[in-house]
Chain A
Amino acid sequence: MSEMAATPVPLPAKRRGAQLLMLALAVGIVMFAYANVGLAMDGKVPAGMLTYGLGLGGFMLAAYLVLAKWAPWADPLILPLVTLVNGIGLVMIYRIEASKAPGASATNQLIMTGVGVVLFAITLIVLRDQRALQRLTYTAGFVGLFLLISPLIPGLGKSVNGSRIWIGFGPATIQPAELAKIALVVFFAGYLVAKRDVLALAGRRLLFIDLPRARDLGPVLITWAVSLGVLVLQKDLGSSLLLFGTFIAMLYIATQRTSWVLIGILLFVGGAFLAGQLFDHVQARFEVWLDPSRQEFFDRELGGSAQLMQGLFAMGAGGILGTGLGEGHPYLIPLSFSDFIFPATGEELGLTGLMALLMVYALIVERGLRTSLAARDPFTKLLAGGLSFLLAWQVFIIVGGVTNLIPLTGLVTPFMSQGGSALLANWILIALLVRTSDAARQPPPQAIQNEGLTQVFQR
């Protein structure tokens, strides 16, 4: 009876302990950096270091507990990595605020981090199965579209620095595009799962590539038009590029068709060329990209290169090892605490710090894509893949922009830039990634042999 050589099936490890340790490490690094700023600038450890560190630590502990309870199989790396980036962003904002840069507020950002963690928790608790989102495909589509165009609604939208990407309720302003991007990824995932067969198979072969049918071009053209609309009506190059690029990537994942990518690139190039011809601000960004140090561009008030150059000066000043926190002049860059937080960090933490930071982002993306690979149903695969790509693409657009790798388009640096909407949206994005990774890493139902005929499914 007892010679059941039950070969134990190895379960994927939860690794909750390792996660807690890494979380503590991330919070520790941030506290250390915070102390560093105080020591460099005032010669003493900042008075609020404990409150600050315990605040961040407390939020993250809460996030951890929620995750451990409601998504125990989730990837153990994602939360600590995000905590680190979020914390370094907080330290930089604190440091820039200490240099009296108008608008920088580390306290606001800390509060928003707390709210972000709350939304993270709510998302995990409410959304027990990410596949529920598939039923909301079209709802998500409409919500995303509405959010995207909401700044254009008279009385609601606000125009800041020439871009109409804000909506205001009294004193509070929200950048709805940040939330829209998540809704739209959900929509793309649901829509593409439903239509992927027809998008993938129908069509004919021309030369080397399979071309889709003309009538299947509809969704691509619509997304393209919406993106162009964002560009034209809101003057928001960043969101436009982000949206279109993510859609093309998801289309490619869903259909495995290279022709979609080529069509996407063609449409993008055509759109960019058209926009460059029609709109001065697009043209200006392009000129500045080619030769940012030109005095004429440097002096230009709107769409000039002064901010970009200040960012490059800051990074140059940082060199390999950086000036050290609190010892550079990152506040000289306009908006050093939001759009240009990356070069500001580069001045004080140097090339070493930026490489580490990019590595952390790359790891988050990589964990997301791994989730996508491990996911068991197409919707989850597409959702995880889309969200991960969205994150990577956003980092590429903004970091590439501020380091003059590509023309500069305004976007926030995920988790680092000061700004509530983006921070909240990105915490929801992480919650969705955690939820999908929990589903993907959960062991499949197993028969317990010893129970005879009765099969118990472990969920």
Chain B
Amino acid sequence: MNSTVKRIAVACLAMFALLMANVNYVQAVKADKYSEDSRNLRNFYERYAVQRGRITAGGKEILAQSRDTGSSEFRFVRQYTDGKLYAHITGFFSPESASGIEAAENKLLDGSSSDLLLRRSIDLFTGEPTKGANVDLTINPRAQKAAYDALRESGKRGALVAINPKTGAILAMVSLPSYDPAELSGTNKKQVFTRYDELAKDKNQPLLNRAIGQTYPPGSTFKVVTAAAYLEDDDSRGPNTTVEAPQRLPLPGTTISLPNYGGAACGAGQVPLVFALEKSCNTPFGSIGMELGYDKMKEQTEKFGMGEQIGVPMSVTQSDFGPEEDKAALAMASIGQRSNRMTPLQMAMIAAGIANNGTVMKPYLVNKITDSKGDSIEDADPQELSEAVSPETAGKLREMMVSVVNNGTANLAQIPGVQVAGKTGTAETSDNRPPHAWFISFAPANDPQIAVAVIVESGAANVGAEATGGHTAAPIAKQVMEAVLKN
């Protein structure tokens, strides 16, 4: 019987060999496929297994942090101290996705970044669990709060961005309506997804970060760019250079003509450039645009950062001066209409560039990243994005923008004891809704600490003076500037 016993032994070995081969197949070859399966709860738990780092503002104010629940399934859950106020900055951390800083700095927050390799290696030896890095933002909590409250008071949708012109650090970034990130960061998938669907379908788009994710026609605020191009084109020009300011500007190749806002006259038909800006006349800037030509206008806009792929670190939707069409279109684009589309961040960068002697700094949100032990991983390094205009031109533009606040359409932005520079805007939209109210500004004019861009959607009255844009948006910017300056 020994020969058959030996054959049975071979059969048994073959069975074990098959089992071993199959176990190898399952655990080494198919493992990735299994771990990606949505029915596998493990990657879901995995998201909550690591203590994510904190997100703070100004080094102390905690915006988001992870709480230890002690459970083996959802060990660390995310908490947002003042969710709605910072929603578009922090973003949310949902069972299957994330947004805002939570998404953009995810690898550092969850500790998986290669920048944390050293920390992880040390933890491996000391036996400490891996913790994510802490992310400190450039946000000024007072400015953020002031911006959120002021914008919310308008009752409208809108956005605000405030930048430190000298560094590019973003001091405030608000988009309304907002949402509560806590609702999207729970561990109950069904509840989170239902809520997400509600928010995503909401026609007010609360999930959209309008400050960097939405472009609007900039309206008259864009006239500072046109003015910048005009001044750059010839050094001898200045605020007092006389420009043509007819009541209506005939648009070549069309039967229509461009009026001033509300059809009003602009002085005596020939006015100083500063007057045209103060009163926000359309016709002088329309003709300046046509005189300079498409290329010069577009080039000037690009010098302010338009068309640049920017991440703050969340990626910013690109602004666009519009395609080259006819002269009529160019005249319209030069006063911020037609196909001209800017993000609120881009408009803040324009204000900041003028404030910073013509140099646009790259905007950023992350001030500092430290590992769980407090050792620095990354410190913000302010970078020049571009040289938008010469310091001389910047000085002339500043002078004119101060005049706009002191003598022109933006008197509501005046702050006692502080020189404020600004420009209002009322951007008409193609549909029949009231126009958007814009305001860009910086202060103090002689030593700028803050540059702001505000848009209040449909915030201007349909008819009336150009002041309507300034009426709604300027006071909001004023409150934010005050919050920063009165520190």
Residues of A within 8 A of B (CB): 41, 99, 249, 252-254, 256, 293, 298, 309, 312-313, 315-320, 328-329, 332, 346, 350-351, 354-355, 358-359, 361-362, 365-366, 369, 372-373, 378, 381-382, 385, 388-389, 392-393, 395-396, 399-400, 403-405
Set of chain B residues within 8 Å of A404, measured between Cβ atoms = 22, 26
Give, as a whole number of angstroms, the nearest-CB distance from A254 to chain B. Answer: 7
Set of chain A residues within 8 Å of B463, measured between Cβ atoms = none
Q: A252-B8, A358-B20, A388-B12 are known contacts. Are A318 and B41 too (CB-CB below 8 A)?
A: no
B23 and A254 within 8 A (CB): no
Which of A319, A329, A372 lies in contact with B5, CB distance below 8 A?
A372
Which of A313, A389, A399 lies in contact with B37, CB distance below 8 A?
A313
Set of chain A residues within 8 Å of B34, measured between Cβ atoms = 312-313, 315-317
Is B373 interfacial (CB-CB < 8 Å)? no
17 contacts between A and B (CB under 8 A): A249-B8, A252-B8, A256-B3, A309-B37, A316-B33, A317-B31, A318-B31, A319-B27, A320-B28, A369-B8, A369-B12, A373-B6, A381-B1, A381-B2, A385-B1, A396-B16, A400-B19
A293 and B27 within 8 A (CB): no
Is B292 interfacial (CB-CB < 8 Å)? no
User: Which 8 pairs show the lowest CB-CB distances between chains A and B?
Assistant: A316-B34, A351-B27, A316-B31, A313-B40, A392-B12, A362-B16, A405-B22, A396-B15
Instruction: Report the bound CA distance from A298 to B37 in whole Å.
Output: 12
A405 and B5 within 8 A (CB): no
Residues of B within 8 A of A (CB): 1-9, 11-13, 15-16, 18-20, 22-24, 26-28, 30-35, 37, 39-42, 45, 72-73
B28 and A351 within 8 A (CB): yes
Which of B6, B31, B37, B73 lies in contact with A319, CB distance below 8 A?
B31
Give, as a whole number of angstroms, the nearest-CB distance from B236 to chain A. Answer: 73
Set of chain B residues within 8 Å of A320, measured between Cβ atoms = 27-28
B13 and A362 within 8 A (CB): yes
A329 and B27 within 8 A (CB): no
Which of A358, A366, A373 lies in contact with B19, CB distance below 8 A?
A358
Give, as a whole number of angstroms, the nearest-CB distance from B39 to chain A. Answer: 6
18 additional A-B residue pairs with CB within 8 Å, beyond A312-B34, A317-B42, A395-B16: A254-B4, A256-B3, A318-B27, A319-B31, A328-B42, A329-B42, A346-B23, A354-B23, A366-B9, A369-B5, A369-B12, A381-B1, A389-B12, A396-B15, A396-B16, A399-B19, A400-B19, A403-B19
Set of chain B residues within 8 Å of A358, measured between Cβ atoms = 16, 19-20, 23
Set of chain A residues within 8 Å of B20, measured between Cβ atoms = 355, 358
Give, as a whole number of angstroms, the nearest-CB distance from B43 to chain A. Answer: 9
Instruction: Report the bound CA distance from A389 to B30 in whole Å.
Output: 30
Instruction: Report the bound CA distance from A239 to B371 in whole Å.
Output: 57
| Max chain B C-beta neighbours (<10 A), residue from A313, A346, A361 | A313
A392 and B5 within 8 A (CB): no
Set of chain B residues within 8 Å of A389, measured between Cβ atoms = 8, 12
B37 and A373 within 8 A (CB): no
Set of chain A residues within 8 Å of B4, measured between Cβ atoms = 252-254, 256
Instruction: Report the bound CA distance from A351 to B21 in whole Å.
Output: 11
Set of chain A residues within 8 Å of B31, measured between Cβ atoms = 315-319
Give, as a whole number of angstroms, the nearest-CB distance from B71 to chain A. Answer: 11
Instruction: Report the bound CA distance from A403 to B12 in whole Å.
Output: 18
Set of chain B residues within 8 Å of A399, measured between Cβ atoms = 19, 23
Instruction: Using CB atoms, name the residue of chain A closest to B72.
Output: A99
Instruction: Report the bound CA distance from A361 to B17 in whole Å.
Output: 12
Instruction: Report the bound CA distance from A381 to B5 in whole Å.
Output: 8
Instruction: Report the bound CA distance from A319 to B37 in whole Å.
Output: 15
Set of chain B residues within 8 Å of A395, measured between Cβ atoms = 15-16, 19
Instruction: Using CB atoms, name the residue of chain B closest to A357.
Output: B23
Which of A253, A392, A396, A403 lies in contact with B23, CB distance below 8 A?
A403
